[in-house]
Structure 1
Amino acid sequence: MSGNIVPSIVDGNVPIAGLDQLSAHLDEAIQDPDADFKPKLFDDVELQLTESNVPPLLPTLLPKLTTILLTTRKDPAVPVSLSLRLLRHVSFTQTLSLADETALITAFNSPAPSANLLAMAVLHKATTPADIAILASMPRLLEHFIRRWLSAPQVEVGERGTRVLGDLLEIDSQSPPLRIPREAITVNGVPWTNGSTNGDHGNDELVDIHKPRGEGVLWRRLTHNVDLYNLLVALPLGRDISGEVLDDRQTSLAQGRLLRLLPRLALRDFDLVTQPPPKPSDDELMGGVDPEAEARQSGLLQFVALKMVDKSDLLMHLSLIDFFETLVSLLRVRAKEAGSSSQHIVQTLREILLVALRGDDELRAALKRLPDRTVEEEAEDLRLFIASVVG
């Protein structure tokens, strides 16, 4: 750092050099949305941040950063990086007091992926059933999150959205958690990870069965709210409920994101993803016709597995085969621990595969070869399970 930067004392801690200069720069950026950011000022302060000196900075820096993210016409990557660093040790409810629903919606609507990722990071801070209940009470925010997750052209935004939504729905689940074995679950012989990034367990440890279960409020919001559920199933079909049409590439990306999420949700809560959502009332449809009525006839898992992908698209067909390989591998583990529910899982999966395998020799061959590609100690169990659901 340059020698002429005057340190600022923060709450009696070690001085943060360059803090006053950064604060002044933020004021300039608020006044002029076209102002260029000075990365060095941000970097100098960010490198000095610690868990102890961040809290006193939040009331002064975060409101300014939030205002900038709402108004700047420049790429917000630099202020977003600092915002993420400041929010690292802040709870979900504290974050909402500093960046409200409107600010988060604006971030989701931004064309800048850094702003999208920041908004997703805020949602990812919801780590308790109480946090999830707060989030579920904001359907407009959820709508913008779902839309950005499925429609963003950037791979990193899609991947983060898949992890965030998966984690939120796991916390919200009312079902008892799977007691994942200490040895890794494998798919195609490769250790499978659930993509969790907000402090949840890994596959090498048993799930804490004493953790409080969720209340199912987020899932009910996604399935009972007509606009949210229609958005969830319409975007992977290439259309938005707003009337906008997605191009082929973006439609494929949206489908791929759901194909990656659903096996994880099925492993965590099979009933959740196989039950049809409630039919909307005439009042909810405002006297019109439900454009996604066909998708509502079955659960989300059946929609994704059987109705979403055009098998004439070679790449998406390969993605669908990969989806089924993952789904079958994971449900073998779930059925093994499901007790009296085991037969329900096997029967439902059998019904799905009965339809999926019609005229699909590639899928049938892939499932037949799947035990040969897994680890030796799991191969025979997997072979028997596949025989029970494929016949």
Structure 2
Amino acid sequence: MGLKTFPGGIHPHDNKAFSKDKKIEPMPLPKKIVIPLSQHIGAPAKPVVKIGDEVLAGQKIADAGGFVSIPMHSSISGKVAKLAQFNHPTGALVQGIEITGDGEDKWVELVDESSFMELSAKDMKERIAEAGVCGMGGAGFPTHVKLSPPEGKTIDTIILNGVECEPYLTADYRIMLEQAEDILTGLKILMKIVNAKKGVVGIEANKPDAIKLFKNLLKNEKNISVVGLHLKYPQGAEKQLIYAATKRKVPNKGGLPMDVNVVVQNVGTAIAVFEAVRYKKPLVDRVITISGKIVKNPKNIKARIGTYYSDLLEYCGGTTEDISKVISGGPMMGFAIPSLETPMTKGSSGLLLFNKKEAHKDSEDVCLRCARCVDICPMNIIPSFIAHHVRNDDWDSAEKSGVMDCIKCGSCAYVCPSHIKLIQWIDIGKIKVSEKNRSK
């Protein structure tokens, strides 16, 4: 069967050679961590500890702030040092809990339940919620909420996203090679919870060894398959992945995957689901790619949530040149951050370092009406029109032009010959349209 894809998209250089062959390395315990209370879509978590409290690794330190929220857990053992505002990988300041480590890595008691697949769907979902599992490849949507479709909605397909289409990032690729069986067990748990009859693992064509491995592991499975996908960005975006894998089209104007009977989860999230259900292990660590031409020794590191980016870079030997730009995440959809004194979160997929030449940006020019942004837009909207409306404070026209449908993949800005900051304008438009609609 041929490779599958979606309409539109671009082909940036993937720059994955820096780290794709680097096996996952567990990082030594950090001396201190910061656990931000907002690592997910939804209400921030609420602290249940105070300064001076001693905590264990895996201990809950903040309750979920509502149904669309998740609890937070300490990733090391030690003492609560601060409850304050800290840097966040989005560039914002958020409330967080600083913990000074004791170097002993003392854990809460975990379990090893061999009969975990016999648990009820309700019990499985409760363990996932208690473990603080959220999406680890995108916006950080609470996993238990995704697995709770409203009455009248049924889910017949679970898609695992192993695409990792962002340049430089290789963490998902490495976990697919090194933890494939755990990923597939996590998929089976997800399928059981929503009673899905079909499972799909979507993997891009630049990972042929991962495709081969999963096909071999699934050769006797009747209801789980591997879908090979064309090498194209943003192949890993939720709606584009659903279309490529199933030919189902999620509606614009607020449509969700469950509207076409699908739930999408990242492969890293599937591992977290498996560990939560079998071991009752909270999500307190993840694999993150540290990469860039100027990084002395790019790596894929398994690190504790809350570890400072500065500690991750130091573990990689630092840089060979002065750092001009730091991106948390990938270069297309990640966030430029002002300081390495920023803690990694459950959604931190990468830390990228760039020199002055790589970070250079050309100044904006006037729109040429070339329509390149229209030709490649995977959401079939007109980014240049939206930017024009936003510049003129015309929020109604921006909304009618589809500003809220934009997935902020950055493809339009990538191809724009006038270097117009289309995503920044669209971002402003999303904020203003949301404010307008809330005030009605």
Q: How would you bin the TM-score normalised by the shorter chain?
A: under 0.3
TM-score by length of structure 2 reads 0.23
Whichever of the two has the greater Rg, that structure is 1
Relative contact order higher in (CA < 8 Å, ≥ 6 apart): 2
- Given the two structures, how large is their TM-score scaled by the length of structure 1? 0.25
Q: By percentage of residues, which structure has more helix?
A: 1
